Structure 1
Amino acid sequence: MTIFEMPRTERVIEGPGALAGLPAELDRRGLGRALILSGRTLGASEPFGRLVEDLGERVVGVHTEIQAHNPLEGIMELVALARDTGADVVIGIGGGSAIDAAKLTSLGVSEKVDDPRDFLRYSLSHGLLPLARAPLPTIAVPTTLSAAEWNGVAAFVDSATTRKELCRYLELTPATVILDPALSALTPRRLWTTTGVRAIDHAVEIAYAKNAHPFTTALCMGALKILARDLPWTARDPEDLEAGLRCHQAAWMSLVGVHNVPVGLSHAIGHQLGAAGVPHGVTSCVTLPHVMRFFEPATRGQQEVMAGILAEARGALEARSAADEIELLFERLDVPRRIREFNLSSEALETVVEATMSEAEAVIRQAPRPVTAEDVRLILAQAQ
């Protein structure tokens, strides 16, 4: 017998201009003390300023200095800010880091975390301490395709070890998600494209996981088809809002069941490359084709389906291998594909190997074949 945990998202508001529906959504839910989190660029934009103005007295705090990968010290500052302002909802607007920051702030406030080291007790590598109470509500407004808004997973970096740590609680899933392609049209195209590759990585790894489920596999294959078709187009034309919304929906489809069927080795390596300084979405551009080739003997049937979807999207009558088709798509997207572009030392890469293996039970537990540290070293060498 297996148990499938249904996603916890309660409401999705989508379409051009959907951001304007946020004040009414707060009122509907009886929330009137919002802490809003974003990155610096988005926080300085005209739509962001207009939103804060429209929310008026519903806003008790605004923080526009979210850092990539969420260093633990920064999260503790946000927890203190949420407490000091008496926030009753945390709104993350932006990419995965902003949305994860909202989840982590919610967790820290509700669990009364005062010491940064105590946060580790809520991470996968330290046992996931059971929650004592319901987290603060969160709302997510994504402007990238990293799909952090669809689950209760949140990442932060422990500066003492330089490792990325993961919290995973269904209760942290944002209850409301707002998909506004007019807002995400402002996202720099390189960031949009690389996080789209991240969504492709979700779809691939969940579709060939050892415990793959028909529900999630069907959604992942649908997501792969949409992204292979529309991501290159939106990389060139951010003003095609219909295509932009379809990409948001595909990112949703790629990760909606992750609490049941996990992502895998490409993500585990990517988490730690991210902690070493490689941008979040870029890690999948670097790792995915090599991980697919490593798993190909154990996932031949699934990868043949993927190859057909990818070949159709580029208008080819015959498909190459799935990994080769992914490489062709990455060429069209013009994304970074080599570790050497980021000047990581051999010592840093060995730390990546060790930290990846520390995620064996948490992230790569459903890998299609066993994974050793030497396998990870070989994949990193191929990606170098």
Structure 2
Amino acid sequence: MASLLTGNWNYPTAIRFGAGRIRELPDACKAAGLRRPLLVTDPGLAKLSMISDAMLGLRKAGLEVALFSDVKPNPVAGNVESGVKVLRAGKHDGVIAWGGGSGIDTAKAIAFMAGQARPMWDFEDIGDWWTRANPVGIYPSVAVPTTAGTGSETGRASVITDEATHTKKVIFHPRMMPSVVIADPELTVGLPPTLTAGTGMDAFIHCLEAYCAPGYHPYAEGIAVEGMRLVKDNLVRAVDNGRDVEARSHMLAASQMGSTAFQKGLGAIHSLSHPVGAVLDTHHGLTNAVAMPYVLQFNRPAIDDKIQRLSRWLGLHNPTFDGFMEWTLDFRRRVGIPHSLAELGVKESHLDKFAEMAAVDPTAGGNPVKAGVPEMRRMYEAALAGRL
């Protein structure tokens, strides 16, 4: 069955999907115009044979590749600045973005900033700030995901932490999207169960928030619904048996569907999660998964009908809002997600500051129910206590 899960896709970018397709990386680089790529990944992956094997294959194909791995789990501006210096010093002509969300976000930001004269925060995803960029100065990239979660490989933005303010900021430009993606599920096989669960829940939440976001975008909603079904049917399998390549394939597709769908918008799950990750350095997908039910409960007046419809599409036994919530809580338990933010190290003393940060997070505007500082704090209080 797994051998049938293959294809060449062009939505939203060129995707070479299927087990074993990492061998096409040299050809993908050449297709993107790269001859001297800088491979950007995180320190953990940099030590693995998949990286050394890939670099050997690239060199055999005549590509002059170098490695950069100064990337934090929640990447910071300093990581991007260091990478830009290495890219320029080595006269590289683009990047290979290899890893989970942190590695790929950092790589995309490096490629974006390589030819810019303005500071990175001038391109934050606010209004039309992206038009400040010099498009000629944006270097091409090829993405190789090793997790099924953020879907950064099919996204047009990077989330980078501003160390000065301890806030996560979104850097956006349409040309930040990688030219080619090598989506090989075999590269995700080594991901441990906890990270498989956290990243998989991130994919589900990207789809869920996109589906619930206000506005008319039926394309995004259709993709989001199928993405959630794929997670529902395959995440437990991938957590229980990390070598299940079929389940890994479906999860990798769901991840990319999430990042495609959230062009419609995100919401308060991400708004609550971002401050926690920026200050306490928690895993993004895991933090999203903890926050999810408390935001769903807050949003219920605006999404009750949509959640009932979604529950029918997902084939839930009790296709109501309460039935969806019951399934959500059970699903989280099944893959080992904590129930409260207290279990991630959040304390009462954090809440005032976190609520202020959440209210101005770029994702807050996509929430179905308007949420300012008081509302964000109320959701934090519920999530801290584990109270629904």
Same fold (TM over 0.5): yes
Counterpart in the other structure of 2:363: 363
Q: Matches of residues 1-384 of structure 1 in structure 2 within 5 Å?
A: 9-56=12-59, 57-113=62-118, 118-124=119-125, 128-129=129-130, 130-134=132-136, 135-144=138-147, 145-259=149-263, 261-276=264-279, 277-310=281-314, 312=316, 316=317, 320-359=322-361, 362-384=362-384
Range 240-249 or range 335-344, more displaced = 335-344
Q: Distance in 2 between matches of 1:258 and 1:318?
A: 24
Letter in 2 for 1:28: A
What's the secondary structure of 1:20's corresponding residue?
A: helix
Over aligned residue pairs, what C-alpha RMSD do you find? Answer: 1.9
Q: 1:309: Cα distance to partner? A: 4.6
Q: Which amino acid aligns with 1:351?
A: K
Quote how far apart the aligned CAs of 1:365 are: 2.1
Q: Shift in Å at residue 233 of structure 1?
A: 0.4
CA distance in 1 between partners of 2:336 and 2:71 (Å): 27
Counterparts of 2:256 and 2:108, CA distance in 1 = 17
Secondary structure class of the residue paired with 2:364: coil
Deviations 1:126-145 (A, max 9, x none): 97252122311111111112
Any idea what the Cα deviations from partners look like across 1:279-326, whole Å, max 9, x if unmatched?
1111111111111111111111111123335564xxx46664322221
Q: Once the 2 structures are TM-superposed, how far is the Cα of residue 74 of structure 1 from its aligned partner?
A: 1.6
Give the alignment's TM-score, normalised by structure 1: 0.91
Contact map agreement 2:207 2:262 (CA 8 A) in 1:
no
Shift of 1:242: 1.5
Question: Matched residue of 1:146: which SS?
Answer: coil
Q: How big is the shift at 1:235?
A: 0.6
Q: How big is the shift at 1:187? A: 1.5
| C-alpha distance in 2 between matches for 1:251 and 1:191 | 14
Structure 2 regions of 5+ residues with no counterpart? 1-9
Give 1:94 deviation, angstroms.
0.8
Q: Tell me, what secondary structure is at the counterpart of 1:110?
A: coil
Residues 158-179 of structure 1: per-residue CA shift (max 9 Å, x gap): 1111111111211101111111
- Displacement of 1:204 in angstroms is 0.9
Return closer, same or farther for 1:334/1:212 CA change in 2, 3 Å cut-off. farther
> Which range moves more in the overlay, 63-72 or 340-349?
340-349
Deviation (angstroms), 1:238: 1.5
> In structure 1, what is the Cα distance between the partners aligned to 2:32 and 2:174?
20
User: Secondary structure of the residue that 1:124 maps to in structure 2?
Assistant: coil
Residues 252-277 of structure 1 show CA distances to partners (whole Å, capped at 9, x for unaligned) of 22221433x11111112112211022
Residue identity in the other structure for 1:55: L
Q: How many Å separate the matches in 2 of 1:212 and 1:331?
A: 33
**1:86-111 Cα shifts (integer Å, max 9, x gaps):** 11111111100101001110121121
Contact 1:120–1:126 at 8 Å: present in 2 too? no
Q: Are the counterparts in 2 of residues 8 and 171 from structure 1 also a CA contact under 8 Å?
A: no
Structure 1: state its 5+ residue gaps.
1-6
Q: Contact 2:151 / 2:257 at 8 angstroms: preserved in 1?
A: no
Q: What is the CA–CA distance in structure 2 between the aligned matches of 1:332 and 1:149, rounded to whole Å?
A: 28
**Partners of 2:187 and 2:72 in 1: how far apart?**
20
Letter in 2 for 1:88: D
Cα contact 2:289–2:337 (8 A) shared by 1: yes
Aligned position for 1:3: none
Q: How many residues align?
A: 368
Indicate how the Cα distance of structure 1 residues 317 and 380 shifts in structure 2: closer, same or farther if over 3 A, else same: closer
Change (3 A) 1:243 1:63: same
Contact 1:311 1:318 in 2 (8 A): yes
Deviations 1:328-375 (A, max 9, x none): 11011112232112323444332221111112xx32323222112111
Q: Are the aligned partners of 1:138 and 1:174 in contact in 2 as well (CA < 8 Å)?
A: yes
Task: Quote the offset at 1:125 in angstroms.
Answer: 5.3
